[in-house]
Structure 1
Amino acid sequence: MYAFWDANNPNSFAAYTTSHLVALALLAAVVVLLFVCRRQLRQSSAKRRTVSLIIVSILVLSEVTLNVWYVQQSMYSIRHSLPLELCSISLYLCVAMLLLRSRFLFQIVYFIGIGGALQALLTPVLGYAYPHYRFLEFFAAHIAIIAAVLYMVWAENMRPTFRSILFTMGFLNLLLLIVIPVNTYTGANYMFLARKPATSSLLDYLGPYPWYLLSMEAAAFVLFIFLYLPFAVSASGKQKKLSLP
C-alpha cells in the first residue's frame, strides 16, 4: 500500500511497455463497448443515466483523489497542481456536460477532450508506472474523458459542426489569456506554453520555443478538422439521399 501511494516510488513509467499497452487496449474496449451499446442507450433513459453517472463518478473520483494525494504527499503547489492543463479543464467540462446534458459544452469538449486526452494517452507525461496510484488515476481520468465525449455522440445523439471548430479555437485562445500570465508569475508550465515537456510528444516536431506555440494552433486546427470529418461525411451523405428524385 505504501508503494502504491508513495510519491517517492522509484518505479518510473516507460511508454509502450506492457502496462501502457494494456491501458490503451482498455481504451479501445471502452470505445467499442459504447459503440456496440449505442442503440440500447438511446432507447433507455435509465441506462443512459446509469452510464453517465458512472463516467461522472470516475472523473470526480480521479480529480478528488489526485488533490488528496498532492496534499497528503506535500506536493500541492500552484506551479504544478492547479487544474489548468488542457485535460484537467476538459475533465471539469465533461462533468458539467454530462450532468447538464449540455450541447453547448459538447461543442468544445468534443474537440479538446478527444484531442487532448488521446495525445496524453499516447505520449504520457507521467512519472509513475503500474501499479502506482498515479498511473491508475492518469489512465482512468483520460479514458473517462474520451468515454464522456463518445457517450454524448452515441447515446445522446449530439453532433459537432464546423462552427464548433471555430468556437473551440476561440475558447483555446481565451484560455491562453489566463494560462500564460499564471505561467509567467508562478514559473509553471501549464498547457506546455512555457516550454516543451521533458518526455517525447507531438511538440518535438513543431519547432523551438516560442514558434511551436504557433505550430500548436495550426496542429490543433488540423486535428479538429480530422475529428469533424466523420460528421461532415455523414451529413453530406444524408443530403445526397434527400436530393435524389
Structure 2
Amino acid sequence: MQLSSYFDRQRIEDFIMFSPSHWIALSIIALVCLLLYGFRFEIRTDVKLRQSVRLLLIMILVSSEAGLQIWYISQNVWRSSTSLPLELCGITLLLSVIMLITRSRTLYSFLYFAGIGGAFIALLTPNLVYPFPHFRFLLFFIAHGGIILASLYMTWIEGYKPTWKSLLFTMLGLNIVAACVWIANYILGSNYMFLSYKPSTYSVLDYFGPYPYYLLIEELFAFILFLLMYLIFFWVPERRNSRRKRVSQKKASLR
C-alpha cells in the first residue's frame, strides 16, 4: 500500500470504535499519563526538565492543530463551516497552549474540567472515520491526549488545584462558549459543538434524546462528570488526609 493512502482523504475502510487499534491508542495515552504522575517529583524538582516537558506539550498541541489545518488544505477540504477550531476540543486545545505558556490559573480552572472531561469523552467515542494508521487517526489521539496531559501537568507538576468555584466557573464558561459558537454556527451555516444536530458517528449524545433536548441533558451530564472529577480526585483525598492528620495529632497529644 502506498504511503499516500495513509494521508489522503479517500479511505478503504472506516474507523471502528473499541477495535484493537482504538484500545491500544487509549492504553498508550493512559500509560503516558501514568508516567507523568510517576515521575512528577523528579520533573517538579528539576527546573530544566520541567521546562522541557512543558515545551514538549506546547509543541505537541500546536503541531496537532497545525497538522490538521495543513491536512484540510492539502486535501482541498478546508471549509469555514467544518475546519475552524470551534469544536470544544479545538477550543480547549488552543486554550491549553495559552495556559501552558502563561501558567494561567483562570484557564486551569476551566480546562481541568472542560479540557480533561471533553477530551476523555471524545477519546472514548471518537467523532472519527479514519482507521489506524491514517494520519487523521494519529492526529486525533495525539491532540486529545495532549489536551488531557496539559491539565494533568499543571496539576501534578505546577501544583494547581480546582475548587468548587472552578466547577461553577467551568459551567458558566461552557455556556458562554456555546453561545458564541452558536452565533458562529448561525453565520457560517455550521454545526460546531453539535449545537444544531448530533454527529453522524456514534457518541454519548445518542442517549440524550432528540434536538434540542439533548443539549440540556448534555449540560447535566457535563456537570455530573465534572462533579465526579472533583470529588474523586480532590475532595475525597483531601478529606481523608485531613482526617489522618487529626488522628495523628490526637495520638501525639496523648503521648
* Distance in 2 separating the partners of 1:57 and 1:29: 20
Q: Does 1:176 align with 2:178?
A: yes
1:76 aligned to 75, 78, 94, which one?
78
> CA offsets per residue over residues 192-229 of structure 1, 9 Å max, x none?
11111112211111111101111111111101101101
1:234 aligned to 225, 234, 237, which one?
237
2:135 aligned to 125, 133, 136, which one?
133
Q: Which runs of 5+ in 2 are unaligned?
A: 251-255
Name the structure 2 match of 1:118. 120
Q: In the comparison of the two structures, how many residue pairs are matched?
A: 245
Q: Partner amino acid for 1:216?
A: E
- Answer with 1 or 2: which has the greater Rg: 2
* Distance in 2 separating the partners of 1:222 and 1:177: 21
* Distance in 2 separating the partners of 1:203 and 1:12: 20
Tell which deviates more after alignment, 168-177 or 3-12.
Answer: 3-12
Name the structure 2 match of 1:224. 226
* Distance in 1 separating the partners of 2:26 and 2:200: 22
> CA offsets per residue over residues 15-44 of structure 1, 9 Å max, x none?
111111110110111111011101111111
* Distance in 2 separating the partners of 1:201 and 1:3: 27
* Distance in 2 separating the partners of 1:202 and 1:188: 20
* Distance in 1 separating the partners of 2:178 and 2:134: 32
* Distance in 1 separating the partners of 2:141 and 2:150: 14
Name the structure 2 match of 1:26. 28
Report the alpha carbon displacement of residue 177 of structure 1 after superposing the two structures with TM.
1.7
> CA offsets per residue over residues 130-188 of structure 1, 9 Å max, x none?
11110010010001111111111111111000100000011011112211122223221
TM-score (norm 1): 0.96
Report the alpha carbon displacement of residue 68 of structure 1 after superposing the two structures with TM.
0.9
Identity of matched residues, %: 46
Report the alpha carbon displacement of residue 241 of structure 1 after superposing the two structures with TM.
4.4
Report the alpha carbon displacement of residue 242 of structure 1 after superposing the two structures with TM.
5.0
Q: Partner amino acid for 1:175?
A: V
Q: Partner amino acid for 1:103?
A: R
1:42 aligned to 36, 39, 44, which one?
44
1:59 aligned to 45, 54, 61, which one?
61
Name the structure 2 match of 1:193. 195
Q: Partner amino acid for 1:55?
A: L
Report the alpha carbon displacement of residue 11 of structure 1 after superposing the two structures with TM.
2.9
2:94 aligned to 66, 83, 92, which one?
92
TM-score (norm 2): 0.92
- 2:69 partner SS: helix
Name the structure 2 match of 1:13. 15
* Distance in 2 separating the partners of 1:42 and 1:126: 36
* Distance in 1 separating the partners of 2:20 and 2:207: 26
Q: Partner amino acid for 1:240?
A: R
**C-alpha RMSD over aligned residues:** 1.3
* Distance in 2 separating the partners of 1:225 and 1:39: 27
Q: Partner amino acid for 1:102?
A: S
